[in-house]
Amino acid sequence: MEKNDLALLVLDGAKDFGEKVEENLLKIRKETDKKYIAKLTASRFTNGEGKVVIDDSIRNKEIYILCDVGNYSVTYKFHGKDHQMMPDEHFQDIKRVISATCGHAQKITVIMPMLYQSRQHRRKGRESLDAAVSLQELERLGVNSIITFDAHDPNVINATPSLSFDNFYPSNTIIEQMAKNDPSVFENSIVISPDFGAMERARYYAEILGCDVGVFYKRRDLSKVVNGKNPIVQHMYMGDDVNGKNAIIVDDMIASGGSVIDVSTKLKEMGAKSVCITATFGLFTEGFDRFIEAKEKGLFDTIYTTNLTYIPEEITSNPWFYTVDMSQFLARVIDSMDKKEPLTKYFERTKETYKVVQRSKT
């Protein structure tokens, strides 16, 4: 298929990842003398207000806006003090980029690897429905397509039924990386879901690996609300015996980390030979010290997560922490979209990953 003229508009929070995507896109297309990242300036006034200027022409191009809404390392001066950008501000910059195109783009695709407000995907009583509202806002601004990964609830697509919404899963890439690093973890293994919400993902891992699956039930104190949630009182396990097995915990994100460490502790107490933690997004919102301490106590062995959102080097530099690079995958998706090719092959990679696992076991 003929390639269209495309441009990557990469906001500051996704700069490193965006450059890797461009590098892989050039390799896929066997090009050496072309640039896909258009020059973009996102600046702030000292009172916190911002603006975006697109420095290169994007007229009649298909543009892909890449933004990491979770990158807290991006800072600006606010009333003379350093201020870390929050997801709300990153999302506002996405809208500024769309506005700065001035209607000249042929097509607009917004790539949010971690979907903005994905955990506020449903409403109970009088509370905000932020995930749906934000998607509808992008649609009204003229966005044609959304690309994201491992949305907390894939049903959020129903908020904008006429908008193209592609939700990819990094499960296959993570499993293939595990097979490359240490396939012994697949021997006598059991996949663990830390709660019922992650059960479908855990079931997929278990079917690829050909092993059993277990799940933890989170018993909560409904009389209290801490940080917007009822605190977890106890993790109760349901499933086959984990004694002597290699346990692989599978989840979409690690936020504070308290829950996954509790699950790891329980698994070790039940006699698990090893514990491997996998997650699409490693947020570590309350710091990484608790994981270092847990590792020193032998509560888990390895952590696998992706580079789809920012993780500081002091975390990724640990020898037992593996960062799975998703830039090549995203570059292939963009290349296929640009060529108007079907994306089915990026959703249906089960046979390919199964063969990788089987080869690693021989």
Q: Are 310 and 282 in contact (CB under 8 A)?
A: no
Per DSSP, the three-state class of 3 is coil
272-323 pLDDT tens trace = 999 999 999 999 998 899 999 999 999 999 999 999 999 999 999 999 999 9
Is 356 within a domain?
Answer: no
Per-residue confidence (pLDDT) for residue 221, from 0 to 100: 67
The verdict on 306 and 330 lying in the same domain is no
Find the domain containing 72 and state its range: 6-169+326-348
Per-residue confidence (pLDDT) for residue 167, from 0 to 100: 94
- pLDDT grade for 235, boundaries at 50, 70 and 90: confident
The verdict on 113 and 205 lying in the same domain is no
Is 357 within a domain?
Answer: no
The verdict on 133 and 154 lying in the same domain is yes
Per-residue confidence (pLDDT) for residue 155, from 0 to 100: 86
Per DSSP, the three-state class of 67 is coil
**Which residue bears the tokens 């079907």?**
342
Show Cβ contacts of residue 71 under 8 Å, excluding neighbours closer than 6 positions: 12, 13, 14, 85, 90, 309, 310
Per-residue confidence (pLDDT) for residue 230, from 0 to 100: 66
Per-residue confidence (pLDDT) for residue 1, from 0 to 100: 44
**What mean pLDDT do residues 16-35 have?**
94
- pLDDT grade for 4, boundaries at 50, 70 and 90: low
The verdict on 17 and 156 lying in the same domain is yes
Is 358 within a domain?
Answer: no
**What mean pLDDT do residues 47-63 have?**
94
**What mean pLDDT do residues 340-354 have?**
88
Is 362 within a domain?
Answer: no
- pLDDT grade for 227, boundaries at 50, 70 and 90: low
The verdict on 17 and 123 lying in the same domain is yes
Stated pTM of the model: 0.91
The verdict on 247 and 333 lying in the same domain is no
Is 151 within a domain?
Answer: yes
pLDDT cut 70: percent of the chain above it: 95
Is 354 within a domain?
Answer: no
Is 256 within a domain?
Answer: yes
Is 122 within a domain?
Answer: yes
94-134 pLDDT tens trace = 999 999 999 999 999 999 999 999 888 877 888 888 899 99
How many domains are there within the chain? 2
**What mean pLDDT do residues 223-237 have?**
71
Per DSSP, the three-state class of 294 is helix
The verdict on 331 and 301 lying in the same domain is no
Per-residue confidence (pLDDT) for residue 228, from 0 to 100: 65
Residue 78 has pLDDT above 50, yes or no: yes
In this structure, the strands spanning 232-238 and 212-220 are antiparallel
The verdict on 118 and 162 lying in the same domain is yes
The verdict on 161 and 177 lying in the same domain is no
Residue 326 has pLDDT above 60, yes or no: yes
Instruction: Give me the phi and psi of 140, to 5 degrees please.
Output: -65, -30
**What mean pLDDT do residues 252-276 have?**
93
Q: What is the number of other CB atoms lying within 10 angstroms of the CB of residue 80?
A: 6
CATH number, domain of 315, equals 3.40.50.2020
Per-residue confidence (pLDDT) for residue 196, from 0 to 100: 82
Q: What average pLDDT is seen over the chain?
A: 91
Residue with the bigger pLDDT between 221 and 35: it is 35
Structure tokens at 239: 């499933």
**What mean pLDDT do residues 329-353 have?**
91
The verdict on 159 and 198 lying in the same domain is no
Residue 327 has pLDDT above 50, yes or no: yes
The verdict on 241 and 120 lying in the same domain is no
Structure tokens at 344: 């089915």
The verdict on 24 and 161 lying in the same domain is yes
Q: List the alpha helices (DSSP H) in the chain.
A: 15-28, 87-100, 130-140, 171-181, 199-209, 258-269, 289-296, 313-316, 327-338, 344-347, 350-361
170-224 pLDDT tens trace = 999 999 999 999 999 999 999 999 988 888 899 999 999 999 999 988 777 666 6
